[in-house]
Structure 1
Amino acid sequence: MGQSKPFRPTALIVEDDPMQREMLCVLLEECNYDVIQCESAEAAERVLAKTARSLALLMTDVQLAGRMNGVELARVAKHRNPALDVVVTSGRPLREPLPDGAKFWSKPWAALDVLREAEIAQGSASRAS
């Protein structure tokens, strides 16, 4: 008999700072996530168009390369997948409202916060599948 493949959630990381993006990716990969990383909201929007329903977690900075910011990206993501766990981060105060269900983290965030959020999103995604 065939064996089922264990569930591996997927996270989308959108951060224009390569060091922070890499740190998030490493932390999530340690939590058994498949990770897709983007530098801009426009690139992330293309990923969302294809995979929004299969994502468990989106983490994005507010300030990104390109014309769209992270709050706008969070709105697109929540529209495509209302159950998606969305975290928006910034080193500055947030100036516009987040979509319902999205969370805001001030920078610098702690690695432990990322690990906790990964567990929350993984639990929600595995219950939904």
Structure 2
Amino acid sequence: MGQSKPFRRTAVVVEDDDIQREMIAMLLEESNFRVIQCEDAETASLALKACHPALLITDVNLTGKMNGVELAHLARTNDPVMRVVVISGQNPAAVLPDGVTFLPKPVYPVTLIREATH
């Protein structure tokens, strides 16, 4: 008999800065997440519908028509139990949905992993 692989939760990371997105993805992969990386909220919204992730991490300021706060609202509407973390260098101008965590940049790896696995 072969060994069974441990269950890996899926996370969607939305960040238009390539380096920051890669760093977040690497941290999550080391914490046994399967990571889908997106540069904009429109692509991420398709990934949310197709993959039903356990976690969404999004920056507030994104390229495209939708920002990270709008994406967080969409994610919570579609899946009220999904863990959602919004990150930004500035406090979000709009109100975050109930249950969404805000982390100011720079985000420390230990803090990010604690919030992701909470």
Q: Same fold (TM over 0.5)?
A: yes
Q: Tell me the SS of whatever aligns to 1:63.
A: coil
The separation in 1 between residues aligned to 2:88 and 2:117, in whole angstroms, is 22
> Which residue of the partner structure matches residue 7 of structure 1?
7
Report if the CA contact (8 A) 2:27-2:109 is conserved: yes
Q: 1:11-60, CA deviations, whole angstroms, 9 ceiling, x for partnerless residues?
A: 100000001000000000100110000000000011112122xx111000
Q: Tell me the SS of whatever aligns to 1:23.
A: helix
The separation in 1 between residues aligned to 2:4 and 2:109, in whole angstroms, is 31
> Which residue of the partner structure matches residue 47 of structure 1?
47
Deviation at 1:3, TM superposition (A): 6.0
How many pairs align?
118
What amino acid sits opposite 1:25 in the alignment?
A
> Which residue of the partner structure matches residue 68 of structure 2?
70
Q: 1:60-118, CA deviations, whole angstroms, 9 ceiling, x for partnerless residues?
A: 00000101000000011011110000000110121110111111111111011112123
1:98-113 matches, cutoff 5 A: 98-113=96-111
The separation in 1 between residues aligned to 2:39 and 2:78, in whole angstroms, is 20
Report if the CA contact (8 A) 1:31-1:118 is conserved: no
| Structure 2 residues without counterparts, runs of 5 or longer | none
The separation in 1 between residues aligned to 2:83 and 2:116, in whole angstroms, is 9
What amino acid sits opposite 1:87 in the alignment?
V
Deviation at 1:2, TM superposition (A): 7.4
Report if the CA contact (8 A) 2:83-2:116 is conserved: no
Q: Tell me the SS of whatever aligns to 2:26.
A: helix
- Indicate yes or no: 2:52 matched with 1:32: no
| Structure 1 residues without counterparts, runs of 5 or longer | 121-129
What amino acid sits opposite 2:20 in the alignment?
Q
Identify, as 1 or 2, the structure richer in helix: 1
Q: State the Cα RMSD in Å.
A: 1.3
- Give the alignment's TM-score, normalised by structure 2: 0.93
Q: Tell me the SS of whatever aligns to 2:116.
A: helix
